[in-house]
Structure 1
């Protein structure tokens, strides 16, 4: 019978350090990472922008016969969607086309687009606005154009981060789009391309740029600039087609010479950036009572359109007093209250299954499914 000798090797200091580091790394990997705190400034900006979107829709039936309402409508449309798109571009900087980012894009943009494009089509049929309209995912209806455009913009983000002069190139694309009525309505490509420079501009921004427009000097200067913009809008009502700020049609479709398109693209881009700067200068950077609502702007955006369309269908704008100043103020207040309610956490939770679906069942890791299948096999 032989004795078994066990040799114990001494653990060196370097080995102890290595083992400790490995254990610490494993512990960090196992523990959940804390969520990055939300920036109150951007939540405030998104909420205020979505309120302006809803108010603009409430003003649409009141434009006829009111130069003041039309001027306000023109002013708001000159910057509210550009502001929303610039912020969307800013938060799309990290999109690299990785599987994780693509999953979020499909769940957060494509699924809501399919659901609400179908819902708005059926609602339009029910209200007899277009009873024969087919359900088509290629022709965005009403508000859903933004989701289709955001899908295209975000998919092309790696390209814009690759080229040397992304903003001039995006402006050239937008200018060329205004000369091409043949683009058609597939995915609302005309509007997608014309709004593209704002998204690319957002991609190029950094936190210090937003701090720049929030300086006290800029906030003070924004007051006379916005006042002059409103005066110019009032002057331009009978002289200019505000459809240029919709960015939905080409120059021939608006009945103007072809060269108007590129010129108006540059002019509108410059005006919109100035007004977006004024808007962001006034957005509070601290937490306010509406900061938490900034996380629910997608549900507010997608849901308030049903109320806006129903208001017209049910004749809310038919009484004579609604066409006066009191009616315009009432419509503004009601629109702001409705969209605020639709951005609340309770409403967001109810509609999360279609506005922010998890989709884990559709995006499970293939290797995990194979391992599960092997474990389930006899």
Structure 2
């Protein structure tokens, strides 16, 4: 069955925003424009990525399915947890000593993705609207418990689960409705309005978008549920708006959409070094465009065949690319 270029294009665009968002994070405190852009990116890039993951989820739930998930998600998580701990120590980064179940940086996604697949076994048995409504309710309630946070990636698992569930229930035909001209026009207004709103919003805490802290930690212990509901609504309309502009045509770079996990797991080695060594500064438009170009370059580098061949045994537990290259 031929891959739909739209989904691969979407994954490439989204992984670029993941890398670029991490690239500009050190500069958000010194610039209102950078802080706004950073928060704007975070309104949609992970929710959209998670929705895509849900769309391609099988949710079989049998023993072989679970074992396969362990191989694909938990084994790489454990390996990279150790690798990042050692790497952080080498570059002199504080916090390198962490327990195995407090995910380093971006590794939370692997742990949460495994959990979402497990949760899907039960939630897929319910009618879609009821299933999503329950997941949303859990996501809203969970923020009132300060004990649920970064460990085991529990907070993000429950908060982002509705997007995974929505992706699972969506059909390809329904997603393609986003390509309608009226949706694309409306999306320009929405994306602009969200950007301007974030810019003029007083002291917006980007922690609301990261979903790893309780309402108490975010300074809104009583009305945190209402705030998170607004974040959910904003994320949903932003995901729709961004996906509406993803092209459907097949390009030379479309194939990179099947390799985004490599970019996600490996780009942290570069980002963390850049931050620790304080390599970059943003003093003008040329610096900003340079970081955007570097982010794009990392996407292409880390999804290249040589990198895939080198890291496939670690990430996928097989060496088919290396064997193929040796034969030729």
- When the two structures are superposed, what TM-score results if normalisation uses the length of structure 1? 0.80
CA distance in 1, matches of 2:96, 2:42: 30
Larger CA Rg, structure 1 vs 2: 1
- Quote how far apart the aligned CAs of 1:358 are: 4.1
SS in 2 for 1:95: coil
- Quote how far apart the aligned CAs of 1:184 are: 4.2
RMSD value over aligned CA atoms? Answer: 1.7
Please list, as runs of the form range in 1=range in 2, the aligned pairs for 1:363-378 lying within 5 A after superposition: none
Partner of 2:257: 294
1:18-70 deviation line (CA, Å, top 9, x unaligned) = xxxxxxxxxxxxxxxxxx32221111111110000000001111112211111
Q: Which moved more, 1:41-50 or 1:181-190?
A: 181-190
Q: 1:230 to 1:132 in 2, by over 3 A?
A: closer
SS in 2 for 1:267: helix
Q: 1:50 to 1:162 in 2, by over 3 A?
A: same
- Quote how far apart the aligned CAs of 1:286 are: 1.4
- Quote how far apart the aligned CAs of 1:303 are: 0.3
- Quote how far apart the aligned CAs of 1:221 are: 2.1
Partner of 2:24: 59
- Quote how far apart the aligned CAs of 1:112 are: 1.0
Unaligned runs of 5+ in 1: 1-35, 360-378
Matched, 1:146 2:106: no
CA distance in 2, matches of 1:151, 1:293: 23
Q: Given the alignment, which residue of 257, 260, 265 partners 2:221?
A: 257
SS in 2 for 1:351: helix
Partner of 1:374: none
Partner of 2:303: 343
Partner of 2:179: 214
- Quote how far apart the aligned CAs of 1:314 are: 2.2
Matched, 1:49 2:14: yes
Q: Given the alignment, which residue of 160, 184, 203 partners 1:239?
A: 203
For the 8 Å contact 1:299–1:343, the answer to whether it is kept is yes
- When the two structures are superposed, what TM-score results if normalisation uses the length of structure 2? 0.92
- Quote how far apart the aligned CAs of 1:349 are: 2.2
For the 8 Å contact 1:62–1:328, the answer to whether it is kept is no
Partner of 1:71: 36
Unaligned runs of 5+ in 2: 320-328
